Structure 1
Amino acid sequence: MKSELRNASPSVVANVERSAPARESSDPATLPALLASQVRASGARIAMREKKFGIWQTYSWLEVSKLTRDLACGLSQAGVSRGDHVALIGGNRPRL
């Protein structure tokens, strides 16, 4: 396990490890697999920045992974399932 994952919560690490099975190819086949691969490679490194009240806020790959999982769980709880189509409309913000 990468040193970046050492300080992550156990549930985040477990989810990252389960998200993408080991593959022969270096190119992940799905967006979740690509995100999991990026978290393993760069967990604590900055994934994105957002200016809030004039101060730059940073989000690590681990934080982006958790936000993504939270969104996926929320959509699932709302009744969205595999194969359904969803449109997200909003500004280009980390929370959207």
Structure 2
Amino acid sequence: MTELTPKSLFVVTVAMAADGSRADLLQMAAILNRRGADVVEAELSRPAHGRRVFSATFSSSRIQAETVLRSIEGLVDVVDAALFSALDARTPSEARVAHQPHGSGRR
């Protein structure tokens, strides 16, 4: 399948209530996966002052990224969430390889 919508790098940052749940990271990963985001890196902070912060850098179309944000904002423990365009430090050829559809046969 050919990608018709160009992909860019985005960062989503989420502040959530630190209720001691071990499922926070899995819940965030599930949302990113369901929305088709290719995660470059992700981090979940240790609880501090009653909050935890999750941050992820991912590659997707703008529409997918906005859908990720709306999905995260709908979670009960989320206090605040923001989406940013990320700087892409990869070379053009690295970015092209990263955006190849899975199973394209290229190696």
What's the TM-score once normalised by structure 1's chain length? 0.25
More helix by proportion, 1 or 2?
1
Q: TM-score, normalised by structure 2?
A: 0.23
